[in-house]
Amino acid sequence: MRYKAEIHVTLKRTVNDPQGLAIRGGLHSLGYEGVNAVRAGKFIEVWLEAESSAEAERLANEMSDQLLANPVIEDYAVSVVETAATP
Amino acid sequence: MRYKAEIHVTLKRTVNDPQGLAIRGGLHSLGYEGVNAVRAGKFIEVWLEAESSAEAERLANEMSDQLLANPVIEDYAVSVVETAATP
């Protein structure tokens, strides 16, 4: 079966986020004074073959631990959907 | 009212994604042969003040057009939730 795993990789709350601060500064310069905070993360889509949705989720979590996220400074969240298409 | 806008910025389907290809190569090297494709995008969280959820969504779309996404090569999707906390 073919699945798509959507993986959100975000910096841990306690980790400084210079990219987010730069975006906030840019938005303030453009006149968006109502912006309090910005955090920048990654959104990774992985199309993969697996025997079940649970197996696809297990694989995606393992990939995140090993390659996609840096567990020292980042958190990640995985969600899996069944799909027919690859991009 | 305080809202959080979650913005997914992804490369358009027709645009080449070298970062995604590099991740796919890395996953194959690690033994994840079942991975067919990978696309890498951005996940941006914006905490902002707005008068309503609709207004927060309008602002987040405007920010995406002006600063967060490059409309020539990227698509974006905005979703807004009410929130009490800022990070």
Q: State mean pLDDT over A45-62.
A: 97
- Determine the pLDDT at residue A5: 98
Given a cut of 90, is residue B84 above it in pLDDT? no
**Superfamily (CATH) of domain B2-82:** Phosphoribosylformylglycinamidine synthase subunit PurS (3.30.1280.10)
Any CB–CB contact under 8 A between A84 and chain B?
no
Q: How many other CB atoms are there within 10 angstroms of residue A17's CB atom?
A: 21
Most A CBs within 10 A among B13, B14, B45, B67, hence the mutation to make, goes to B45
The CA angle B7-B11-B12, to the nearest 5 degrees, is 115
Q: What residue segments make up the domains of chain B, in order of their start?
A: 2-82
Task: List the single residue in A36, A46, A68 with the smallest CB-CB distance to B86.
Answer: A36
Given a cut of 90, is residue A14 above it in pLDDT? yes
Q: What fold is seen in the domain A2-14+41-82? A: Mth169; Chain: A , (3.30.1280)
Q: How many cross-chain Cβ pairs, A to B, lie less than 8 Å apart?
A: 106
Contact between B2 and B86 (Cβ < 8 Å): yes
How sure is the predictor about B85, in pLDDT bands with cuts at 50, 70 and 90?
confident
Mean pLDDT for chain B overall? 96
**Residue range A32-46, pLDDT digits in tens:** 999 999 999 999 999
| Burial of residue B37 (number of CB atoms within 10 Å: 0-12, 13-18, 19+) | middle
Indicate the SS3 state at residue A68.
Answer: helix
